[in-house]
Structure 1
């Protein structure tokens, strides 16, 4: 058994999940296509709303959330290549650090911006007069700057430390990107584990705040049900309740499973527990599935926008109406042109027939 440069044995086995090398390239390719299309369209709509002076605090948050999603999407081709090469990083260490950081930035920017969107909607429901009297753009800008600064600051350790780990597996050198810490020293392993648990604690606190905000929104809307009589009031209540459900679903589907599994998984892959091989393998398999679920976040965020603000919904609906009218007009024009051409053809045919009759020999 060889010894690693830091004093730990080289013979520790890398805990892997073979199914990801088949599943991940297909899944991330679909996320890349759909996420790039959806978020570019969302950014276009938000830009048009800004030109129409319809931008306010929540649309500032949505724009920043879209930018975070696009950062993640643009890094996906490198991760697709990584999984197609069966976990071998064929690029530089710098690119490994950047792409890994983009994954971190997207995850926690999304979590924080969804949290402030939830708080913004709670404030709009409970303080409607204040929300209607001012757009609070400055607050939106300041909060966005704080979120980006906090997330980027937390990413610095990933950017300044080596991201790749080289391993001699089955007679070949495999270069892992942000994986393969099994041969590190115990001090470094515990540092990695503690970092994971700090992140889990941070997420739990944010998720608790999101749950409280959305539960209070739902409670307030239920209490206002009797006051908001009429068709418009019911429609607004329905959209607001839908937004509450969508935000909670995004957290429960995309983020909660990963952070529930993250702690035990880190302890398993770092070999800091006495768990048997089957338990460690099961945790690693589940962890890979939760990574896929987190990738769905950039597809679900544009859905949140549709429920978060009426002007975004209205713009999308108006565009679809114009497109459908354009198709109807084009069909009508084509039908009218075909009818005109048919009438012209019949007239020409009649003229030919008349000439034929006139030119026929007279007996």
Structure 2
């Protein structure tokens, strides 16, 4: 049963995530392409893949807005509901993987600077990123088969998307979701915590390290922690509860909706990683300040002449 005010909440969160996440993702994408063309580093390649994951997610987000505007009924071509799994859900999982790789890369850079300068590190990074995408696609394929396989009935366009499952489909999905908790949340969170704690600890012991670099490391750690606790934790908790109760929790859609804020918090990661991103933010900040001053001056003059 759909609660009347609930779709409004979903739509509001989707709009916030889209308006904040898309400009940052596009800006980060441009910065990554520019950096890779000049002098690429492993972190730039990983960041580019994280940005692509966010862009795929944000590109499909207007479809979810339409669903929320229609009171959570699916009034669009049903093929889009099938793509929902690949373009809305799986980018959430790929984000956790690339955030984990970023934390590992930062730790290796600080803890093993000599090995980090290996000339083949770019090749290794590309192979790792390709492996992650392949893993995500294979996982999505198995999930799709579990969700839609063995069903001969065609759901009409007024049904809810990715909600109506046969008992067999739901049982298979609940098992896969439980495995996702370990593969895409617990293990990545443990690795990220280990890497960032040790990275910050090492940076604090080095007297020649600039304060801004330490702050960026802390910012990346906090940004990653926000993504995992606010965006990923509730959604993965719904997987655990669903497996225990053998049904979809009623609050699962709330947790899934809040996971869309992942695209907003990733901007913190982009800002801490990329110098070009920080420079672009400073330019935008100065532009907004100048615009505000001019608007304020205009209204002062208008009041005087009035």
Superposed pair shares fold, TM > 0.5: yes
TM-score when normalising by structure 1 = 0.70
Say if 1:65 and 1:110, in contact at 8 Å, map to a contact too. Answer: yes
Aligned counterparts of 2:155 and 2:26: Cα–Cα separation in 1: 39
Give, in angstroms, the shift of residue 214 of structure 1: 1.7
The reply on whether 1:198 has 2:179 as its aligned counterpart is yes
| 1:179 aligned partner | 163
TM-score when normalising by structure 2 = 0.82
Q: After superposition, give the CA deviation of every residue in 1:276-297 in whole Å (9 maximum; x if it has no partner).
A: xxxxxxx523x23321221011
Superposition pairs for residues 252-291 of structure 1, below 5 Å?
Answer: 252-265=229-242, 267-268=244-245, 270=247, 283-285=249-251, 287-291=252-256
Q: After superposition, give the CA deviation of every residue in 1:40-94 in whole Å (9 maximum; x if it has no partner).
A: 111112122223x232111111111111111111111211111222222122332
Equivalent of residue 246 in structure 1, options 223, 229, 232 = 223
Say if 2:50 and 2:95, in contact at 8 Å, map to a contact too. Answer: yes
| 2:128 aligned partner | 143
Say if 1:228 and 1:234, in contact at 8 Å, map to a contact too. Answer: no
| 1:296 aligned partner | 261
The CA RMSD measured in Å over matched residues stands at: 3.0
Give, in angstroms, the shift of residue 96 of structure 1: 1.0
More off after superposition, 316-325 vs 191-200: 316-325
Say if 1:125 and 1:217, in contact at 8 Å, map to a contact too. Answer: yes
Superposition pairs for residues 308-327 of structure 1, below 5 Å?
Answer: 308-309=273-274, 311-313=275-277, 315-316=279-280, 319-320=283-284
Aligned counterparts of 1:43 and 1:234: Cα–Cα separation in 2: 27
| 2:301 aligned partner | none
The reply on whether 1:22 has 2:8 as its aligned counterpart is yes
Aligned counterparts of 2:214 and 2:23: Cα–Cα separation in 1: 30
Q: After superposition, give the CA deviation of every residue in 1:131-154 in whole Å (9 maximum; x if it has no partner).
A: 356482111111110000000111
Give, in angstroms, the shift of residue 262 of structure 1: 2.2
Q: After superposition, give the CA deviation of every residue in 1:108-130 in whole Å (9 maximum; x if it has no partner).
A: 11000000000000001101234
More off after superposition, 86-95 vs 69-78: 86-95
| 2:137 aligned partner | 152
Aligned counterparts of 1:18 and 1:295: Cα–Cα separation in 2: 21
Relative to structure 1, the CA distance from residue 109 to residue 302 in structure 2 (aligned partners, 3 Å threshold; closer, same or farther) is same
The reply on whether 1:210 has 2:175 as its aligned counterpart is no
| 1:355 aligned partner | none
Q: Which runs of 4+ in 1 moved over 6 A?
A: 163-168
Say if 2:107 and 2:196, in contact at 8 Å, map to a contact too. Answer: yes
| 2:114 aligned partner | 129
Q: Identify the structure with the greater helix proportion.
A: 2
Relative to structure 1, the CA distance from residue 317 to residue 101 in structure 2 (aligned partners, 3 Å threshold; closer, same or farther) is closer
Aligned counterparts of 1:56 and 1:100: Cα–Cα separation in 2: 32
Give, in angstroms, the shift of residue 252 of structure 1: 1.5
Q: After superposition, give the CA deviation of every residue in 1:192-231 in whole Å (9 maximum; x if it has no partner).
A: 2211111112121222122221222222223x1xx414xx
Equivalent of residue 43 in structure 1, options 4, 14, 29 = 29
Aligned counterparts of 1:167 and 1:155: Cα–Cα separation in 2: 21
| 1:336 aligned partner | none
Secondary structure (helix, strand or coil) at the match of 2:79 reads helix
Gaps of 5+ in 1: 1-14, 272-282, 332-363
